[in-house]
Amino acid sequence: MAPGRLSFSNITALAPMVRVGTLPMRLLALDYGAEVVYCEELIDIKMVQCQRVVNDVLQTVDFVAPDDRVMFRTCDREKDSVVFQMGTADPDRALAVAQLVEKDVAAIDVNMGCPKEYSTKGGMGAALLSEPDKIESILRKLVTGVSVPVTCKIRILPSLEETVSLVQRIEKTGVAAVAVHGRFKEERPRHPVHCDYIEAVAQAVSVPIIANGGSLDLVKTNSDIEEFRKATGASSVMLGRAAMWNASVFRNQGPLPVERVMEEYLKYAIRYDNHAFNTKYCLCQMLRDKVESPLGKQVQAAQTNAEISNAYGLQQFYQQTQEQLQARRDALQSSSQPERPVTDGDVTAMAVKFERREYPPHITPKMFLLEWSRKKKLEQPLYETVQRSQDRAFQSTVVVAEKKYRSSLWEKSKKFAEQAAAIVCLRVLGIPEGRIGEEDSGLVCKRKREGKVNGAADEERSKKRHVAKTGREAETSTAAAAANGDQREADAPR
């Protein structure tokens, strides 16, 4: 084995699990002692369209779909332990995906065990089990085409002989390991696992076999992992549900209370800006029969990671993390953006941030821009805001007298992004913006400056005109999330 290559001998692994095996869960499993962590299965057709994006704010590498969804997020910490699992039925596409991610992962795995219709009808998952020629061509193509180890995960075939002969054929392709889920493809997760099949395979080949399927009745604690390994004669063990319910099953010092595990999971979800729907899903799996408890109900009702943090009393951690991420975003932006106006297409842009403390309590640049537009008998300023997927930061463009202005710096909230756009417009046009210490321009009357009349309401009215636009954006991102959820929703344990 080449030095530095991930070994699959004598390891304990987090199983690939759709929706569960995203970055926070993988990091948690590593913290608790898993040596190898599989990501959720990602379908080749979707992955092949992704772009690799280095996310300097989160310090991650993201694979982003054309609709801006982050399909796969990884980071340095797991680089030597993460296995990228794909769903595929096409050797060329499989290779294209493997080559896209190979620099950022420790190994590539092909899912040959998923019995769900959406997988099998595309010839993927368990459908491959009856197509050994295709299995061979996919695996050979991957083994020769990428520099990292290649593995696959199968279910057992109707007889011992067929199962053994398939794995012997797979071994010849040069894979680094085979994970064997000891159930037939028709069997459900509640059926007992067939350790004898795994054992027969382990005896017949020299490639490391990873035993899987023991969560329900065999592996309850860390010491049971060794028992499962012995019962199957396998080199290694892979845990799915036992880890999903309480990832501290990997700790050889003993398990932790699930409350503590949920808290540590949530901290990773916040730190890595995990999608709130995904965070909720994983926490609900950990809550199990407590999902209808007051805490469970609060988690289910939450729509954002901030709301989930409130449910767990982690508001302060959430706030501090947001501040740290914003500070990193600011530092990155200020080192790369010019402070003088530049033309970007039909937009005039400047690197400007809205600092609340630079303005009196009742004054904002938007207010000044609104008053100025009124005095000039112009249309009210029109704000359009976009949110980017990699860190959910906002950028606004304001249209004033048919010209567009925006800050090139991204802000943590829509409100701040609009204020930054207003500042750019005011500075480019040489209009006072209401900062503390600025000479009184008389643009906003004294009563408004002191907050005695409804300057804020004026702004609110101006905002309402644009609600339709920004509302549409919000809907788009919710729809994208729901689409993500939909695909995942279909996924009961496999």
Given 114, 152, 282, 425, which residue is catalytic? 114
Residue 76 CB, nearest distance to ligand FMN (Å)?
A: 24
Question: Shortest CA distance to 363 belongs to which of 428, 430, 429, 440?
Answer: 440
Residue 381 CB, nearest distance to ligand FMN (Å)?
A: 48
Residue 102 CB, nearest distance to ligand FMN (Å)?
A: 19
Given the complex with ligand FMN, which of 220 and 362 has the nearer CB atom? 220
Residue 11 CB, nearest distance to ligand FMN (Å)?
A: 15
Given the complex with ligand FMN, which of 246 and 419 has the nearer CB atom? 246
Question: Shortest CA distance to 6 belongs to which of 82, 58, 114?
Answer: 82
Question: Shortest CA distance to 324 belongs to which of 396, 417, 412?
Answer: 412
Interface contacts to ligand FMN, rule CB under 6 A: 15-18, 20, 40-41, 85, 111, 113-114, 153, 181, 189, 212-216, 239-242, 244, 491, 493-494
With H, G, I as helix, E, B as strand and everything else as coil, classify residue 482. helix
- Token pair in block for residue 317: 């951690």
Residue 121 CB, nearest distance to ligand FMN (Å)?
A: 16
- The C-alpha R_g of the chain, in whole angstroms, comes to 27
The Cα 155–Cα 179 span in angstroms is 9
* Residue 114 bears catalytic tag: yes
The Cα 135–Cα 128 span in angstroms is 6
Given the complex with ligand FMN, which of 111 and 419 has the nearer CB atom? 111
Q: Where do we find the tokens 């402070």?
A: 339
Q: Identify the helix (H) or strand (E) that includes residue 11.
A: none
Given the complex with ligand FMN, which of 296 and 493 has the nearer CB atom? 493
Given the complex with ligand FMN, which of 85 and 470 has the nearer CB atom? 85
Given the complex with ligand FMN, which of 116 and 362 has the nearer CB atom? 116
What lies within 8 Å, CB to CB, of 265 at 6+ separation is 24, 25, 28, 247, 282, 283, 286
Residue 371 CB, nearest distance to ligand FMN (Å)?
A: 56
Residue type, 439: E
Q: Are 63 and 48 in contact (CB under 8 A)?
A: no
The Cα 214–Cα 51 span in angstroms is 37
With H, G, I as helix, E, B as strand and everything else as coil, classify residue 382. strand
Question: Shortest CA distance to 145 belongs to which of 98, 111, 84, 100?
Answer: 98
The Cα 60–Cα 23 span in angstroms is 10
The Cα 278–Cα 296 span in angstroms is 15
Q: Write out the catalytic residue numbers.
A: 114
